[in-house]
Structure formats: C-alpha cells, structure tokens
Amino acid sequence: MTPSRPVNLNLLTIKLPVAAIASILHRLSGVALFLFIPYALWLLYHSLHSEIDFVFLTLTLQKPLFKLLTWLWLTALGYHLLAGTRHILADFHLGTSKQGGARSAVFVIISAVILSLFIGYWVC
C-alpha cells in the first residue's frame, strides 16, 4: 500500500502564489506591530511626560539603533495598513478572482517597498 501523505514538507521548496505571500506578510507585520507595542508606548511616554524627557527622546532617536527600530516599526505599520486595505476590499468582493487577487497582492507588495523607502528617507 502506497502512502498518500506528502513526503517533502519543506516549506521553502513549495511555490506559493503571490497572494499567499502577501497574506503571510500581512500576518507577520501584525505580529511585528504587536511586538513593537512596548517601543511605541516608550516613545509616547517620553514624548508626553515632560520637556526634559522630550529632549531626551529627540536625542535618543538620533542614534542609528533607534532610527532602525523606528523604520522597522513604521514599515510594518505601512505594510499592515496596505494589506489590510486589500483584505477589506476583498470583503466587498473587489479583486476576489484569482487574477485580481494576484494583481492586488503585487500592488500591495510594490507599494509597501516604495513606502518603506520613503519612510527610510524620512527617518534618516
């Protein structure tokens, strides 16, 4: 008797459609945003607590590590918003065909890369 279960479960060898990649990246950006909550609260606290804390925050955000963290956070937020808009449009049955889903996924990924470059320019 031949087993009908798959032999190769290496996810890196499976060719996923671009819509699946966009959906996975949307989930990963959501996880990243959840993990960035302490950083966002830390920024909010120091920006609102006192004038001295605000000056401390502005000097701290000039350091490369904090620029990188801010860029990562805003990039994850931007991608999550773009992909979330794509999913909301799909809820209204816009772009739900196979070809439309692939086109909207490519549009979201390309837009996110462009947005990420703009965010990087703005942060640095």
| Predicted pLDDT of residue 75 | 97
What the block records as the tokens of 31 is: 């996880």
| Predicted pLDDT of residue 3 | 66
Query: What angle in degrees, to the nearest 10, is found between the helix axes of 37-48 and 64-91?
Result: 120
d(CA 43, CA 70): 10
Mean pLDDT of 94-117: 94
> Model confidence at 13, in pLDDT bands (50, 70, 90)?
confident
pLDDT over 80 at 9, yes or no: no
| Predicted pLDDT of residue 34 | 98
List the domains of the chain with CATH numbers: 18-123 (1.20.1300.10)
| Predicted pLDDT of residue 38 | 97
Q: Three-class SS string for 2-13?
A: CCCCCCCCCCCC
pLDDT over 70 at 2, yes or no: no
| Predicted pLDDT of residue 83 | 96
